[in-house]
Amino acid sequence: MIGNRLAVPILLLYVFFRDFRPSEPFLTPFLNETKGFTKHEINNMIYPVWSYSQLPIFILVLAFTDAVRYLPMIWLGALGYVATWLLLIFGTTVKLMQLMQVTYAIGTACEVAYKSYVFVAVTKEEYSTVSLYLAGSTLFGRSMSSFASQILHDYADISLMQLNYISLASVSLALILALVIPAPLHFVGLNENSTIQPTSDQDQLILDDDISMIQKVKEKFLRGKVNVMLSYKSLQTRRWAYWAIVTSALYFMVGNSAQSLWKDLENGKKKRFNGYVIGVTGLLSSLTSWILTRYSRSVEHTKASVLAVLTLALALTTLLPTILQNLYLAYVCDAAFNIITSSCMTIALFKIAHSLTTNLYGFVVGVNACVAGTLDLLVTFIVIDERVLSFNPRQQYLVYTGFAVVCVLAYFGYKFVTLLQGGNAVELRQGNLTGFVEDGRSDDGVLDA
């Protein structure tokens, strides 16, 4: 029982120190001004590696987290962050900076492990409260590090290299905390969460805890095929999943290019406020999500077309900085982009959760993240990679604007074609009645705006 009581406070401290990385708001200036890499090397050779690495690592983490009982993946993520800052501080070549992006991808991909750990470390009654505490710890760590970075850099004469040493100390402390997180007192993995029950003695053997890790992972992927069919049979789920994927993909794309654009717009003359912007944006985004969650009745009546309009607003936030080329306008647009993205994700995830008749919410979120990551990877390779188009940050933002507009047009085009084909009647004839009426609730249908 001691382990259970210590698990949550240790995990909260781990999350805080893992996310307290005051050097991050100034990563691009650090690589350019302190380490001496060119803007082209940073933007077109170093940063794309995160997009290439994140997706395959994330899939592997999803596959192995249950099999290894969570903690090894938490340790791996903490090691990934420590390795990232060691490479940042001591690395001197493009190859080492590319490796740094791989280790950073390991850290970000493994974040799903501690969320899974919480589910087995506390009771069901405590889960919502602890999850809220963890979200608060993450927000506090990131916001404090952003504000601290700006204040230390501007007023305490702390160099960008010294900020990286502070980040290294923080993630190293997080690793120490990760190593003393108590093992879960019980385990809820593939067997308990799966919607498919064993139908034969052979199936039961596959589900047994004594089988090899490879067999468990193979079984997980086999069940994944069935779960995809179960999860996305509802038209409402597919519709909201579409917007969750679009907004997530845009978030990945812009997040990987924002600092490069800011650096381009500085022109060596203007004072930078990266830390303040990222800190305030994080607070406002979290506040917006909390308000939407608090007043969920309003979200219940939100139509998918609202997210289409918000996506057009996202397109505007990526278009304006490239046209007007003003650093401070770019800051405002980035804040607006993140707040709108957070709102879209909150609404989409809320609607997905209410559209499912089975306990597959986490699975759907994982699949959506993989699809969004795939889109980000493809766009990054074609648009940013030096071996293909090798666009500069301003050109990249124009592509992101086009991506958002195309996604909106595709959505309304689908609605128009469906309307011509008979709308809801077509879906009903296809046998998708469960997509429209679930637990007594009527789906809002293709014709709804």
pLDDT bucket at 223, cuts 50 / 70 / 90: low
Predicted pLDDT of residue 185: 63
User: How does pLDDT run across 129-139, given as a tens digit for each residue?
Assistant: 777 788 888 88
Q: Average pLDDT of the chain?
A: 82
* Alpha-carbon span 214 to 63, nearest angstrom: 10
pLDDT bucket at 270, cuts 50 / 70 / 90: low
What percent of the chain stands above pLDDT 70?
79
Q: Which pTM value belongs to this model?
A: 0.83
User: How does pLDDT run across 287-306, given as a tens digit for each residue?
Assistant: 888 888 777 677 777 888 88
What is the Cβ-side half-sphere exposure of residue 128, based on CA atoms within 13 angstroms? Answer: 1
* Alpha-carbon span 275 to 167, nearest angstrom: 14
Burial class (CB in 10 A: 0-12, 13-18, 19+), 420: exposed
CA dihedral 277, 282, 284, 289 (to 10 degrees): 160
Average pLDDT of span 12-26: 95
Say yes or no to pLDDT of 55 above 80: yes
pLDDT bucket at 195, cuts 50 / 70 / 90: very low
* Alpha-carbon span 401 to 322, nearest angstrom: 10
Say yes or no to pLDDT of 188 above 70: no
